[in-house]
Amino acid sequence: MSFIKFNNEEVFEAKNITINQLLISKGLNPSTIMIRIDGRIIYRDQYNTFIIPNGAEVKAYPFVGGG
């Protein structure tokens, strides 16, 4: 079985899951979330194609607007 850590919680997911698929499965809107995988920022234009590696640590941060 494949697993990842999502915001410090171990999650069992199918292999070959993209960032978009993970975020949607968690009820999150991909357009409002910044993602780091194993400490590296992943840009939003890669969310639909970037396959999350087995054992990866995924951190999601909501965008905060203001000014």
Q: Quote the pLDDT of residue 64.
A: 76
Q: What's the maximum distance between 2 C-alpha atoms anywhere in the chain?
A: 45
Place of tokens 């999502």: 6
What is the chain's pLDDT, residue by residue, as a tens digit (67 residues)? Answer: 678 999 988 887 667 899 999 999 999 999 999 999 999 999 999 999 999 999 999 999 998 776 6
Tokens of 33: 């979330």
**pTM, rounded to two decimals:** 0.86
Q: Quote the pLDDT of residue 38.
A: 97
| Residue-wise DSSP of 29-50 | -GGGEEEEETTEEE-GGGTTTP
Q: Quote the pLDDT of residue 14.
A: 66
Backbone angles phi, psi at 31, to 5 degrees: -75, -10
